[in-house]
Amino acid sequence: MSDKNHEYEYSGLTINGFAMIFFTFILIPALIVAVIILGGEERLGLSIGLGAPLFIIFILGLVGYFVQEPNEARVMIFFGKYKGTCRKTGYYWVNPFMTRRRLSLRIRNMDIEPIKVNDKTGNPVLIGMVLVWKIKDTYKVTFDLDSQSLGATAATISNAALEKFVRIQSDAALREVTGHFAYDHTDSDHDSITLRDGSEHINDLLENKINERLAMAGMEVVEARINYLAYAPEIAAVMLRRQQASAIISAREKIVEGAVSMVEMALDRIEERAIVKLDDAKKAEMVGNLLVVLCSEEPATPVLNTNK
């Protein structure tokens, strides 16, 4: 079979491990003993000639066993040539000269610690996320990603190498996405999506960006969510005062709007019921007094006019 630069299923020889145990540990040793006994001293050369190959076959038979659980895979490599990916579960025996690199296809969870980045307006913010990912393409993970540099053996792929690659690419994608959005609404822009209120949109965009980066190494993101968002310590106090000021202004606007409506209602009721006739000066004085009473944070102290 010629080399193919993509993942495909291993179609080579795979024998049930329990059947091979009978062959390796019972049949071949019995043949070796039978050859030695039947050959005797008279046919010592013949006994050695027949027993030596059987003994070599016995030794080779001990090497090819492997156990594979669900959501695991073995990348089969025969003297440097990719022969496919075995996803069968159970106990098997294969060619002992076949290198079998084990990969876990199970879902993995990673907590990306908060990093300092600049948002769209240039403010430094701390942002972190939770990443759920898994291996999708065993060929790319094995042959496109350098996992041997971090202590991987011939029979496995280094988890440290995978996690390091995912972490670096996730940080890069997080910085890229954060740079397109402001932390919060600005005075001149109240309709745009921000990091604070655009969680679903931000998470979807972040997931797509990370998938684009991990696809080159045969991995995919199941879910990516921002789990930490705050201003950097050097501007946190200033931005807190800004938020407090915005909240106070919004509250004052609401109070004034309600007070004006109440004053308008009071004047209309007085005129409708002809309680008293007020000229413009008296109306202005009454409006001022009502606004003071309604908008003041402290209880108003009444002043009685005794006309003395």
Chain centroid, CA 66 distance in Å: 32
Across 239-260, average pLDDT: 71
Which is more confidently placed, 151 or 102? Answer: 102
- What pLDDT is stored for residue 176 in this prediction? 92
**Distance in angstroms (rounded) separating the CA atoms of residues 98 and 81:** 10
Average pLDDT, the chain: 81
pLDDT class for 298, splitting at 50, 70, 90? low
Q: Is the pLDDT of residue 150 over 50?
A: no
- What pLDDT is stored for residue 305 in this prediction? 56
pTM of the model: 0.70
**Distance in angstroms (rounded) separating the CA atoms of residues 170 and 43:** 70
Dihedral angle sign, alpha carbons of residues 291, 294, 295, 301: positive
Beta strands 219-231; 15-16: pairing state: unpaired
Q: Is 83 exposed, middle or buried (0-12, 13-18, 19+ CB in 10 A)?
A: buried
Q: Nearest Cα to 131, choosing from 228, 249, 32? A: 228
Say how many C-beta atoms besides its own lie within 10 A of residue 63's C-beta: 14
Q: Is 224 helix (H, G, I), strand (E, B) or coil?
A: strand
Across 209-214, average pLDDT: 94
Give yes or no for a contact between 127 and 178, defined as CB atoms under 8 angstroms apart.
yes
Q: Is 76 exposed, middle or buried (0-12, 13-18, 19+ CB in 10 A)?
A: buried
Q: Is the pLDDT of residue 87 over 50?
A: yes
**Distance in angstroms (rounded) separating the CA atoms of residues 206 and 177:** 6
Q: Is the pLDDT of residue 72 over 90?
A: yes
Q: Is 199 exposed, middle or buried (0-12, 13-18, 19+ CB in 10 A)?
A: middle
Q: Which of 187-191, 198-202, 235-239 has the highest mean pLDDT?
A: 198-202
Q: Which of 142-156, 162-176, 185-199 has the highest mean pLDDT?
A: 162-176
| C-alpha distance from residue 80 to each of 12, 21, 160, 243 (Å) | 16, 28, 23, 62
Phi, psi of 121 (to 5 degrees): -90, 0
Which is more confidently placed, 276 or 217? Answer: 217
Q: Is the pLDDT of residue 307 over 60?
A: no
